[in-house]
Structure 1
């Protein structure tokens, strides 16, 4: 979908003005296409298409993430961080090998590496029974190694238990009604009547915790962790109600006021758990990544910005890569094109982000599996189309 007025202005600028100023420079700054391509693979496909048409166009590739699932891979590719291999428990308390990243002072831990939905088969997904215990084990390992700061990347979780599994792995003990047996999952939330933190990890209060998240939902309610994200984790309607009740009960029992804070409902309530059990500060994942990747500097002297993600929808406005890049481009009056796998809110993108073009894969093929498998091919086509609009004589 093309915004004709903006595109006409941009076309005149590109064809008449720019050739007299020097070579064109394009910044490609996308998120991953989940289940299909990494952010760098998206960059490479678009660059290939652009250079099919004009190899003289300068392309700057800046793969991004939003602070959730996939962010650790981006950090590993972009910075000099050491991979720390660990043995922990998966969401169903089965032993797995995973890792986090660290430099001398700071550990970067992605909870999805231990407690993520992708670790479970479809038939295993039930957020009443899954736990963040493995995430807590990764944190404990980093504490044992003496780090001073821990950045927790939350998103893509299989869990909805507000981080009580993480807390249990760090030494918190939960008192239950009538001393019922306790397993740290969402099914146990409604049985909690108190908490004992006398045996927590000795370094827990000596470390600065920051949480990166792309979610702003509260802990419970119709916009909370259970109702919004429970079904995609395998929760039935009855399970959603039960989890939401348990989250309400936990918040009432602990009575710290964190439940309605922005981001408390992230990763099945792990945002709330991080504030409660780690004294963590929550911040926008995309803002943190854009600062680390120095988007503002990359926007200097750029003539066009291309961004994208797997699915362009209403959530795109809520702390996603596309919104972060689009806002940066808009602030500097740089034309923006958006490439995505599927678009549900093209008008929203055109109007809110001042985009000149929104291109999607699903308009090119109606077969979802084919779209996923051949996303690079279609993105290369999009790169060619954008380059042809820039160089209409081709």
Structure 2
């Protein structure tokens, strides 16, 4: 039978491309007669550009930009026709800095603005920006500054800290820089910018913001929103990637699901149609997977084609009822099979072993 293998990355251990290859290797040991179709996926976070490049080809333009603290870091613009694909994690990703060196109140998104400017200067007429995995929480002020936005007081380039006294913000030059460009935000997050479900409160702790600083930093972002477009700050997706969703929507970007962008680009629906099984996966399969994550998106495509979907994950943190609510027939845990130490020490081998065992049940 034909098996479509469509995992996300296993954060911190395997890229989506590596995860798909490991699953295929293990499955083929048990069921060598099955046709395996590898379709690495992404929700807009780390790996977004690599996955699209593997599927679409195109030309990679190397660009050096600023990381969250101003150090040079390599990034890339993927050009496919007149469309450019960017990944915020390449410029301002959490993974770029060791945990003990992170300064979430100071991290700036200037680097992503530089990457966006490079795409526009390269002739792109449509720019798709994958959001996820950022170390920043500046509401995209740095991105806007890189495109020409200014402030009378405060700073747009010093992270959330610079917004504490910000006033007289002028984004007209940034709007002019992307005039005539179709901007698309590809993200797995629908949180607003501010408040109890906003960027700072929900995602700040993951970036190192202590609880006692959350209200203060959220207040700085609110000040920035009041200087630009307070009403926009309540829109879904503006809280993505520490508020980069806000800045990009301020520039006129359309918000869409990162999984949908990738699924359409790789032709996932056509590949799934007529298959006997779909395998997906990610590092932690939990109920948050319903919020635009790869397994839920892949399971939706599989359900439309009436093809069963099975998940392989580092950890499975949902019960059978929640699993089926996500459209997944069964889910299997790497940690349960080989233990946490081996799952992290030899993730590809362990995932291959899990796939081999899963094939015993699901291959015809």
TM over 0.5: yes
Query: 1:40 touches 1:63 (CA, 8 Å); kept in 2?
Result: yes
Q: Which 5+ residue runs of structure 2 have no aligned equivalent?
A: none
Q: TM-score if structure 2 supplies the norm length? A: 0.94
Query: 1:346 touches 1:358 (CA, 8 Å); kept in 2?
Result: no
Residues 227-266 of structure 1 correspond to what in structure 2 (within 5 A)? Answer: 227-266=201-240
Runs of 4+ deviating beyond 6 Å? none
The answer for the alignment partner of 1:314 in structure 2 is 287
Give distance in 2, aligned partners of 1:198 and 1:99: 27
2:69 to 89, 92, 98: 92
1:204-237, Cα deviation, whole Å (9 max, x unpaired): 2121111100111111111111111111111112
Give distance in 2, aligned partners of 1:100 and 1:391: 39
Give the count of matched residue pairs.
364
The answer for the alignment partner of 1:138 in structure 2 is 115
1:96-131, Cα deviation, whole Å (9 max, x unpaired): 332221134222111111111111121221221000
3-state SS of the aligned residue for 1:136? helix
Query: 1:115 touches 1:157 (CA, 8 Å); kept in 2?
Result: yes
The answer for the alignment partner of 1:36 in structure 2 is 13
Query: 2:142 touches 2:156 (CA, 8 Å); kept in 1?
Result: no
1:166 to 119, 143, 147: 143
Give distance in 1, aligned partners of 2:174 and 2:229: 20
How far off is 1:49 after superposition? 2.2
3-state SS of the aligned residue for 1:174? coil
The answer for the alignment partner of 1:279 in structure 2 is 252
The answer for the alignment partner of 2:191 in structure 1 is 217
Pair 1:343 & 2:316 matched: yes
Q: Which of 1 and 2 has greater Rg?
A: 1
How far off is 1:31 after superposition? 0.9
Query: 2:87 touches 2:129 (CA, 8 Å); kept in 1?
Result: yes
1:237-277, Cα deviation, whole Å (9 max, x unpaired): 2322221111122222323511111111000011011111x
Residues 1-394 of structure 1 correspond to what in structure 2 (within 5 A)? Answer: 24-176=1-153, 180=154, 183-200=157-174, 202-276=176-250, 278-367=251-340, 369-390=341-362
Q: TM-score if structure 1 supplies the norm length? A: 0.87
Query: 2:196 touches 2:202 (CA, 8 Å); kept in 1?
Result: yes
Pick closer, same or farther for the CA change 1:348–1:376 going to 2, 3 Å: farther
The answer for the alignment partner of 1:15 in structure 2 is none
The answer for the alignment partner of 1:13 in structure 2 is none
Query: 2:184 touches 2:254 (CA, 8 Å); kept in 1?
Result: yes
